[in-house]
Amino acid sequence: MKLSKRKARVLSSAIQDWEKGALITPEQAKQLRHSYQIVGFDWRLLAVYSFWIAISCLIIAVGVLLADDYLLALLAQIIDTPASVLALLSAGIAAACYIIGTRRRDKFPEKNISNEATFFFGVFMTAVTVAFLRETSGIAHRYDALLLLLLTLVYGVLGIRLNSVLIWLFALISFGAWEMVQTYELANPEGYFLGMNQALRFVFVGIAVLAVSRLAERRVEYQYLSEPTLFVGLLYLLSTLWLLSIFGNYADATEWADVPQIHLLPWSILAGLVCLGVIYLGIRFDNPLCRSFGITFLLINLYTRYFEYFWESMHKTIFFAILALSFWLLGTKAEKLWQLGRQLQSESQKH
C-alpha cells in the first residue's frame, strides 16, 4: 500500500499507540509497518491542479478572445454564422463531452479526476450554448432569468442522470444566479422585492438548497449528493446572513451609510443564533461539515462586530493587543481540544 507522508505519519502513530496499549504484538506492529510505502510525491494532487489549471487557461483564453475587438471581428468574418446555428453547434460539443466523460468513467473508473474534467468541458459548453441562445433574434436579452432557469434544470438533470457531483454543483450555482436575476427583474425601482433586498432574498435560496440536501439524504440513490448540497446550502445561508449583519435590509448604499451601526444589531444577533444552531446540529448529529461552518462563521461574525464597533473608537495599540490576545486564547483552546480528542481516541483504542 502506497501512502503520502502525511497519511504515513498518522498510520505510524496509530500503530505505535496500538503497540503501547498491547492491542497488537511487536511482531504484528513490525508487519504493519512493512505493509505500506511512503510516496515521495503526491501525483494525484498534481493531476488535480494540472486539470484545473488547464481548464482555467482555456476559460481565460476564451475570455481574452471575446474581449479583443480585433480578434472578435476576425472571428466574425471567419465564422459568419447565426447565433442559433452556433448554439446548436456548441450544444453538440457539450453532448459529445458528456458522452466521452461517461464512456471514460465506465472504461476507466479509477481516473476520476480526468473524467470530471471532461464533464467540466461539457458544463462549460452548455453555458456557451445558453449564451448563444441569448443572442438569437427571438430571445435577444429578454429572457435572461428564464435561460438561467433552463440552465439550472439541464445541469440538475445531467448531474443526477450521470451521477456527477461536479455537474450538480453547477446546477446549484445556476439556481442561485437565477434567483438573483429573476427577483432583480421583479423588484421595484428601489431594489426591493416583497420588501426584501437582494441579500435577504438570497437567504431563502440557502434554505431551499438545505431542504434539497435533506431530501437527498433520505433517498438512498441520491445520498451522494447530500453532502455537496449541504456545503453549498450552508455557504449560501451563512455568508448571506453575514452580509445582512453588515448591510441590513437596505438596497441603497446612501441610505445604508446614514444608518447607525447599532441599528443593524438585530441582524448580527440573528446571524450569530443561526451559527449556534448549525453548531448544535453538527454536534447532535455528528456532522463535521455543520460544526466547521458554524464555528467558522460565528468567529467571522464576532470579529466583524469587533472591527465595526471598536475600530474608530479605540486606540489602535489597544485594538490590536486585544485582537492578538483573542487569537492567542482561541489557539490555546483549540490546542487543548485537539489534545483532548487525541486522549479520548487513545483511551477508546485501549478499551
Cβ–Cβ contacts within 10 Å for residue 327, how many? 12
Q: What three-state secondary structure class fits 38?
A: strand
Distances (CA, A) of 100 to 94, 122, 235: 10, 10, 32
- For residues 53-66, one letter each, b for 16 or more C-beta atoms within 10 angstroms of the residue's C-beta and e for the rest, the string is eeeeeeeeeeeeee
Q: Inform me whether the pLDDT recorded for 290 exceeds 70.
A: yes
* Phi and psi angles of residue 330, each rounded to the nearest 5 degrees, phi first: -65, -45
Q: Inform me whether the pLDDT recorded for 137 exceeds 60.
A: yes
Residues in the chain: 351
Percent of the chain surpassing pLDDT 90: 27
* Phi and psi angles of residue 38, each rounded to the nearest 5 degrees, phi first: -90, 125
DSSP bridge pairs for 37: 2
pTM: 0.74
Q: Inform me whether the pLDDT recorded for 164 exceeds 50.
A: yes
Give residue 263's pLDDT. 82
User: pLDDT tens-digit profile of 41-99?
Assistant: 454 555 544 555 555 565 555 555 545 555 555 555 556 667 777 788 889 999 999 99
Give residue 41's pLDDT. 46
Name the pLDDT band for 118 (thresholds 50, 70, 90): confident
Separation CA 142–CA 6 (nearest Å) = 54
162, 60, 173: which is closest to 118 by C-alpha?
162
Q: DSSP for 270-319? A: HHHHHHHHHHHHHHHTT-HHHHHHHHHHHHHHHHHHHHHHHTTTS-HHHH
Name the pLDDT band for 212 (thresholds 50, 70, 90): very high
Higher pLDDT, 37 or 193: 193
CB 105 within 8 A of CB 115: yes
Separation CA 35–CA 51 (nearest Å) = 32
